[in-house]
Amino acid sequence: MKQSVQGSAEAGTPECRGGGGSRVPAQARVADVLDVFRERGGAVPAARGEHTHGERPIPGPRPVVQRSSVRGQILDALRTALVTGELQPGEVYSAPALGERFGVSATPVREAMQQLALEGAVEVVPNRGFRVVERGARELAELAEVRALIEVPVMLRLARTVPGERWAELRPLAEDTVRAAADGCPATYAESDRAFHRALLGLAGNEQLVGIAADLHRRSQWPPVRHGRAYLVADAAEHMALLDALIAGDVDVVRGLVSEHFVGAH
């Protein structure tokens, strides 16, 4: 339930292999995500106004993308790269270079990057491309505070009104986070963490609330904080403890868990 996850600096970035049966696919590295794409077309010329000379090459074999839902696939891959730290804060990436990496034109990459700009993940650098935003501890703390203002009162209200059997239906999602934590993949864990939170808040029946909370949650997951597998396992255990308290209708325990979570999450 904490805000961001990443392999420890001492142990290195953990390999993402899938969540041991989890519903959420492993997404540790962009190259792994894009291995499922199929060859379409050849080299892509640089787009006008963006220059690739001198730009550091992106490691790994060149992946390629299916034409269906190209923008969405690239957006997912770029979001994964933010969580895993492959897209480095402060670095500038051009749409033509990323397009060549993905085996597509610069247009869908630029569109995906523009969406990330709206989400605050990158900023436009005229005639160069997009710079990954360097987000500090203060901004992460502010995101945690805003999430707490939204999620804590909603969870307490739901704890008093939603029957235990409804909460029990969410156990598979909590178990997904446990498997993802054991696997040690930050991107897989981030996705399963968001899915669990979406399901909890979804019981409020307010789509606007769920959408705003999900956007804040995604923003809070990068840049990745250097925590290891033990951090993820402990975080997933909090999901299970919270769900057990909700099923039991123990509002006091729920209050303590959700309030404490946001205090030490950033």
pLDDT of residue 57: 62
Query: Would you place residue 135 in the very low, low, confident or very high pLDDT band (cuts 50, 70, 90)?
Result: confident
Find the CATH number of the domain harbouring 106: 1.10.10.10
Q: Count of domains in the chain?
A: 2
Which of 71, 97, 132 is the C-terminal boundary of a domain?
132
Which of 132, 148, 177 is the C-terminal boundary of a domain?
132
Query: Would you place residue 55 in the very low, low, confident or very high pLDDT band (cuts 50, 70, 90)?
Result: low
- Domain of 204 in residue numbering reads as 137-263
Whether residues 39 and 125 fall in one domain: yes
DSSP per-residue letters across the chain: --S-----TTT-PPP----SS-SSPP-SSHHHHHTT--------PPPTT---TTPPPPPSPPP---STTHHHHHHHHHHHHHHHTSS-TT-EE-HHHHHHHHTS-HHHHHHHHHHHHHTTSEEEETTTEEEEP---HHHHHHHHHHHHHHHHHHHHHHHHHS-HHHHHTTHHHHHHHHHHHHHT-HHHHHHHHHHHHHHHHHTT--HHHHHHHHHHHHHTT-SPP---HHHHHHHHHHHHHHHHHHHHT-HHHHHHHHHHHHHS--
Whether residues 118 and 165 fall in one domain: no
Look over the chain and give the mean of its residue pLDDT values, rounded to a whole number: 78
pLDDT tens per residue, range 113-129: 999 999 889 999 999 99
Residue 227 pLDDT > 70, yes or no? no
Which residue would you say has higher pLDDT here, 185 or 146? Answer: 146
Find the CATH number of the domain harbouring 224: 1.20.120.530
Total-model pTM: 0.70
* Average pLDDT of the segment spanning 26-30: 39
